[in-house]
């Protein structure tokens, strides 16, 4: 019996929707990363993008546990001397709520070109509205 390796042309992609309201960030992100990667399919192949599209709504209502709301910091560097900046979850939620979920999922995907390709299939919106109704997304159980 030979092992079947999926080819990029024969992968069929589905659309899933996740409501992030009152869902713990890490638990949701690990499930979303698994679907983006394609690990829920029998044709999963590590070196091929076999995953599906995921739409996350209500990103501004995602829950973090403990004191992460004020203590957890997202760091970035501007490129200038002394340009290290940090933003708390509280401030990030107010300004760019979608980046909280994107950052969590990005860390759970493979690093490199394949992981970046998988991350492009993640669509995050901070409220209930999204422009992907035509794709008829199914609800993803968490």
Residue with tokens 């299939």: 121
In this prediction, residue 30 carries a pLDDT of 97
Asked if residue 18 lies in contact with residue 101, where contact means CB atoms within 8 angstroms, the answer is no
| CATH architecture of the domain with residue range 8-129 | Alpha-Beta Complex (3.90)
Write the CB contacts of 75 (distance below 8 Å, at least 6 apart in sequence): 84, 85, 86
- Residue 100 CB neighbour total at 10 angstroms: 23
- Residue 22 CB neighbour total at 10 angstroms: 9
In this prediction, residue 90 carries a pLDDT of 96
In this prediction, residue 142 carries a pLDDT of 85
Give me the tens of pLDDT residue by residue for the chain, a chain 142 residues long: 888 899 999 999 999 999 999 999 999 999 999 999 999 999 999 999 999 999 999 999 999 999 999 999 999 999 999 999 999 999 999 999 999 999 999 999 999 999 999 999 999 999 999 999 999 999 999 8
| H-only helix segments in the chain | 25-37, 68-71, 89-95, 97-106, 113-119
Name the residue ranges covered by the structural domains of the chain: 8-129
Asked if residue 102 lies in contact with residue 124, where contact means CB atoms within 8 angstroms, the answer is yes
């Amino acid at each position: 019996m030979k092992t079947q390796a999926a080819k990029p042309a024969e992968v069929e992609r589905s659309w899933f929707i996740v409501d992030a309201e009152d869902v713990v960030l890490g638990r949701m992100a690990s499930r979303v990363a698994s679907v983006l990667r394609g690990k829920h399919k029998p044709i999963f192949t590590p070196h091929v993008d076999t995953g599906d599209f995921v739409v996350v709504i209500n990103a501004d209502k995602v829950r973090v546990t403990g004191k992460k709301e004020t203590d957890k910091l997202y760091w970035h560097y501007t490129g200038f001397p002394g340009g290290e900046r940090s933003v708390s979850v509280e401030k990030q939620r107010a300004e760019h709520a979608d980046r909280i979920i994107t950052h969590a999922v990005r860390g759970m995907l493979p690093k490199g070109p394949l992981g970046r390709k998988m991350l492009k299939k993640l669509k995050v919106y901070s409220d209930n509205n999204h422009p992907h109704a035509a794709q008829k997304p199914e609800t993803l159980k968490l």
